[in-house]
Chain A
């Protein structure tokens, strides 16, 4: 390589527009003649919709239309599809607007279209809906009880699916022979993703060409187009252009097809005017697919030498009232397959029941299944270490998969292709000064202060993934990624990627890759994403796949361009291709740098084709569709240090050390940012965040006054480092880093709090470890233990 942008902490190319207020988020866009939509949402978790009277709303001057569920049915519009199927999966109809019955608080019952946003909201309040309330249930355990209110008639007992992975008999045998077992009953609480930009959609319909344009907050505009066109609207795919411009964070919540997108598209066609909808935050709480929400029983077995021999897991996973796009994959293939963690754990059996309840749908939220698995594994490893009286770091080390054991086939389907876990653990222990901490902790306890340290040695399977593999597991999608590299006559390089950036910095990181391959400056490269009208079909951004899969597509395409450029150069220099080398943006004859032709001159000649090889097509562009041969397996060890106040139960996160291995870093600034943000979300789950439903499904935490998002004061500065184990199977060697922080950190922080509380005899508390919950636990603890 000539330059070496890859690996450098390059300032982001996209930042100036965000810093000057000139970004273009969906709500910033306005089209001539546009009208605004406001949604009428069910205030009840379960109710018959006996009638809807829109007359008062329609009487308000400036109100253009009121749309109800039957209108969509009459227009031939289908419900929202599910993109991942499991054996026996129940897939009840999921209409964009409820027809006859509402099944969660916030479900859309009608949509009002008016000349302005305020008027639309006024009118939404005037739509009279006659509800007949029905019994309802929110909690997964309650929903499975005999006689519980049923969410869907075609899903008896509220069971959405029953799924398992691993060898039950072998695992049972391991438990029968165990020297010691521990069990853990835990709730992994429901969360709300809370991208700071609320979802928004703006639809336009061209009656002449019958083409729709949808500007929407999407992490994967082609997936949106495919599902909206082929499955929901029933229109030719090329008649819908989906544009996802600057997007203010996603964290999973902007992967899915949402009803509001269908409604604005329908209304735009019907009214022949652009229709815009922007969520209020209260609507985000009630309508963005939520995350986590597991009720789990787990057991871990060890042999006489303290080596783990078996893990048995039984999980009830909340699905909410309907299945959104990838919901069934999250608590199954993204969860059960991670149960081996970093450990040589020969026997695992995990069974999961997906449960419907009268709540907002649950789908992927940053990490998606893998934080839930990691929390369980890392929590129960701590329990076992504590039970055996072993040091939690050394207990982990003893059970790590050795670096000479790769590729390592786990008992839960995944084959880890690479890994070296001890250096990350050692580095994290060194950074936190583990021995010193234990001394400080003992001294603090003598003073009545409660310090705690928690470890989380995580594995992640991301960079989804070989298409054939995910297809065999139920995905109704491929998981390759596309890239098109197009060189203009002036030498400007446009790179079109099916990946999508909503904060990840593709415009910089992908440009760094291309700049190195072609020996050009970053300014010569434009990364284009987020527009189905410009970009070849791609699967988008989620599951930490952008660098590993999208980046691999980019590098594959750009190498094709370079190969073609070499042919043109050979012709221009009257030399053989193999005698050329590429140095500093030009091809030159090896050993004679004065015989050279620059990339810019080649680009021009590729377009003029005046002096050109006879057997070569003009033009200079290439595309690649990169299908990975395996997942990538980032890993690392995170350590949290906390102090818990015995008087108030308040936890202060004092230090957070993260050592991650995501292979080589394309841009250390961006990687660090991803780690920091991920840690904050996991720490938020551990200490603060909780989407709370009343037992009847009324949603109690529908605003920022009720749902605690971490603020700057809640967090310390993070201490980060890396080990470097490249992925053996992609051209950049990179592994995903977008979710690692979240996957690791809830367990690290929770383990630290439990460690701090161990003098009270407390061995487990569910998240969030709020001051109230911790204070109550201390109050209820054995006084004798506290006096120790």
Chain B
């Protein structure tokens, strides 16, 4: 199959790769760029394990062809922490035991990131509703909800300090 060139920025770094037009974005990220933190858990865009941020939106990267992401700016789980410091959402999952096997976790982190951008002070009900695109089989979601609340509180406290 003829290959086409795709250029995208992932976690602040620019990449150009030749891919088959049918290549899914998640496969480019995992196999083309070697960023294996983004996982594949299903083939029906149901589980959300492959969620990344594409141009500011949480997207299941198995629903997008790599060529559709040409020119876009992407954040994966590898880009969340900065200077060795965990992002508050990562910290929340750690503090609240929001992960067990860890496989779905990157997708939840990315989905949560956007959830909090849209709604910085979500109720439990809102969190549960907004997570409908992500499956976890280990935690029963209980501690994931708490992890997101932890991050919400931490982020709003940081904002309050910044606003002082």
Contacts and interface: CB of A to CB of B under 8 A. Distances in A.
A22 interface: yes
Interface in B73-101: 76-78, 80-81, 86, 90, 93-95, 97, 99-101
Interface stretch (B63-71, B133-141, B153-161): B133-141
A56 interface: no
A780 interface: no
B114 interface: no
A711 B41 contact: no
Contacts of A681: 137, 140
A634 interface: no
Given A712-B131, A717-B142, A196 B44 contact: no
A718 B142 contact: yes
A281 B97 contact: no
A618 interface: no
Interface string A701-725: 0011100011111010110000000
B140 A18 contact: no
A712 B115 CA distance: 14
B22 A197 contact: no
A21 B38 CA distance: 7
Interface in A1-60: 11-12, 14-25, 27-28, 30
A670 interface: yes
Given A19-B86, A196-B137, A503-B101, A711 B93 contact: no
Interface-centre pick from B42, B47, B80 (highest chain A CB count, 10 A): B42
Given A21-B35, A717-B145, A15 B102 contact: yes
B38 A677 contact: no
Nearest to A248: B103
Contact of B141 (A22, A194, A680): A680
Given A23-B102, A196-B135, A717-B142, A673 B97 contact: yes
Contacts of B97: 11-12, 669-670, 672-673
Contacts of A19: 77, 80-81, 86, 90, 93-94, 99, 102, 105, 109
A229 interface: no
Given A118-B22, A195-B101, A715 B141 contact: yes
Contact of B43 (A20, A22, A282): A282
Nearest to B23: A118
B121 interface: no
A502 interface: yes
A22 B40 CA distance: 15
A280 interface: yes
A251 interface: yes
Contact of B132 (A22, A24, A713): A713
B103 A197 contact: yes
A619 B78 CA distance: 41
B60 interface: no
Contact of B142 (A25, A197, A281, A676): A676
A21 B30 CA distance: 11
B124 interface: yes
A81 interface: no
Interface in B5-30: 20, 22-23, 27, 30
B42 to A, nearest CB: 4
A5 to B, nearest CB: 16
A11 to B, nearest CB: 6
Interface string B113-128: 0000000000010011
A28 B86 CA distance: 22
A25 B103 CA distance: 8
B138 to A, nearest CB: 5
Nearest to B97: A669
A9 B37 CA distance: 27
B44 A281 contact: yes
B72 interface: no
Given A16-B94, A20-B78, A280-B43, A248 B143 contact: no
Contacts of B36: 21, 24-25, 27-28
Interface in A257-293: 278, 280-282
Contacts of B44: 281, 703-705
A672 B142 CA distance: 10
A360 to B, nearest CB: 18
A23 B38 CA distance: 10
Contacts of B102: 14-15, 17-19, 23, 246, 248, 503
Contacts of A705: 44, 46
A195 B41 CA distance: 9
B95 to A, nearest CB: 7
A354 interface: no
A164 B83 CA distance: 63
Contact of B138 (A503, A703, A717): A503
Interface-centre pick from A195, A246, A711 (highest chain B CB count, 10 A): A711
A485 B3 CA distance: 53
Contacts of B136: 196, 712
B42 A281 contact: yes
A196 B103 contact: yes
B137 A15 contact: no
Contacts of A117: 27
A11 B97 CA distance: 7
B139 A197 contact: no
Given A19-B94, A673-B100, A712-B128, A194 B80 contact: no
A247 B141 contact: no
A26 to B, nearest CB: 11
A198 interface: yes
B31 to A, nearest CB: 8
B138 A673 contact: yes
Interface-centre pick from B35, B44, B106 (highest chain A CB count, 10 A): B44
Contact of B145 (A16, A30, A680, A712): A712
A183 interface: no
A718 B140 contact: yes
Contacts of B53: none
A196 B43 contact: no
Given A669-B97, A680-B141, A196 B104 contact: yes
B101 A15 contact: no
A249 interface: yes
Given A19-B77, A281-B42, A672-B142, 14 more contacts: A20-B80, A20-B90, A21-B36, A118-B22, A195-B101, A195-B103, A196-B137, A282-B43, A502-B101, A503-B101, A711-B131, A712-B131, A712-B145, A717-B145
Interface of B: 20, 22-23, 27, 30-31, 35-44, 46-47, 49, 76-78, 80-81, 86, 90, 93-95, 97, 99-106, 109, 124, 127-129, 131-132, 134-145
8 contacts: A12-B94, A20-B86, A117-B27, A703-B44, A704-B46, A709-B137, A712-B141, A717-B124
